[in-house]
Amino acid sequence: MSQAVKIGTRGSKLALWQALHVEDLLKKAGLETEVITIDTKGDQILDVSIAKIGSKGVFTQELEDQLLDGRIDIAVHSAKDMQSNLPEGFEIIAFTEREKENDVIVSHDKSISLKNNIVLGTSSTRRVSTLKHFYPHVKTVEVRGNLQTRIRKMEEGLCDGLLLAYAGTHRMEYDHMIVSELDLDEFTPAVGQGSVAIEVSKNLDPDLKSKITAACNHHETSLRLRAERAYLRVLEGGCSIPVFALAYFTGNQLSLKGGIVSLDGKERISIVVEGNTDQPEKLGLALADKVFAAGGKVILDQIKTTLNK
């Protein structure tokens, strides 16, 4: 019997859903598996915003430690949680097929909308800044923790609704609480939103690596995320920088829409570039050039100065 692929994951219900989804793909390809749960700094520190903890590796560091020493073979992450530049010695070898990318408002109160004076819970600077730009009358409150914890905090009266990704809401079977799906032009998602990324140490056996990629990687999703992540790398966007990008196919071309919004929401740059599907990273770099030329570099420097105070 072949040795089991050891799958490392965070312990939240959503993280376990992702790990079990990957396990299912591997089993379908005939591979033995074992799921190993690991606590990360982002899971342990819930009373401090991600921006203050430091966004680099906040949900990945502990998993990478275990990849390095061989306690796990692969680490399974939300692709949107993956930092733009991986530490030396690591690589992403697969992106699973992407779920719908939209942000959603979740609440028990079906009457709330962005037109109302409501309070929304979110831990995302991208979502906060986007609201400040398009819906400045909507207030926000910091809400962290897993999805179940956030819903409990909302039910305790902290906010009227939560601003979340459709993917996680759907995977946790809270579709009945979705009040509205938000427009992708206004709420362009975080890079990678809706896909699951598989990270490995570069030391992993090449034969095993290629089997895992063949079992789990969704080609179209991979092309889209490679373009988005190339854009993110230039902007060095961690969880605390309000940048956004979404790649999509238009005929046989790949389009990439993305930009940046200032922390106060007053300035927002959003640009679309198009290119061939065979060079997705080139598209990401082209978008970064255009966003910087349109004033994005100034906004990014201001954001970094503010966050480093």
269 and 153 part of one domain: no
- What are the tokens at 228? 């988005």
Mean pLDDT, to the nearest integer, of 17-27? 98
| pLDDT at 84 > cutoff 50 | yes
pTM tops 0.85: yes
pLDDT category at 103 given cuts 50, 70, 90 is very high
130 and 245 part of one domain: no
125 and 84 part of one domain: no
Calculate Rg over the CA atoms of the chain. Answer: 19
118 and 145 part of one domain: yes
Please identify, among 181, 208, 243, the residue that sits at the C-terminal boundary of a domain.
Answer: 181
Q: Is residue 122 part of a domain?
A: yes
Residue 118 has a pLDDT of 97
247 and 262 part of one domain: yes
Residue 46 has a pLDDT of 42
In the annotation, is 47 catalytic? no
| pLDDT one-digit tens code per residue, 158-206 | 999 999 999 999 999 999 999 999 999 999 999 999 999 999 999 999 9
Q: Is residue 191 part of a domain?
A: no
Q: Is residue 287 part of a domain?
A: yes
38 and 174 part of one domain: no
Residue 2 has a pLDDT of 66
| pLDDT one-digit tens code per residue, 279-295 | 999 999 999 999 999 99
| pLDDT one-digit tens code per residue, 60-79 | 778 999 999 999 999 999 99
**Residue where the block lists tokens 């990273």:** 281
Residue 90 has a pLDDT of 96
Tally of domains within the chain: 3
Question: C-alpha distances in angstroms, 258 versus 33, 96, 144, 146, 194?
Answer: 37, 21, 25, 27, 16
Mean pLDDT, to the nearest integer, of 148-154? 95
161 and 134 part of one domain: yes
Whether 18 contacts 83, CB under 8 Å: no
pLDDT category at 303 given cuts 50, 70, 90 is very high
Total residues found in the chain within this entry: 309
Dist CA 135 CA 61 (whole Å): 35
Q: Is residue 225 part of a domain?
A: no
Q: Is residue 189 part of a domain?
A: no
Domain of 159: which CATH number? Answer: 3.40.190.10
27 and 91 part of one domain: yes
Q: Is residue 271 part of a domain?
A: yes
139 and 172 part of one domain: yes
Q: Is residue 190 part of a domain?
A: no
Residue of 81, 160, 175, 301 marked active site? 81
Range of the domain at 143: 103-181
91 and 161 part of one domain: no
127 and 206 part of one domain: no
Q: Is residue 30 part of a domain?
A: yes
Dist CA 122 CA 161 (whole Å): 9
157: left (phi over 0), alpha (psi -120 to 50) or beta: left
Domain of 269: which CATH number? Answer: 3.30.160.40
| pLDDT one-digit tens code per residue, 232-259 | 999 986 678 899 999 999 988 999 999 9
201 and 90 part of one domain: yes
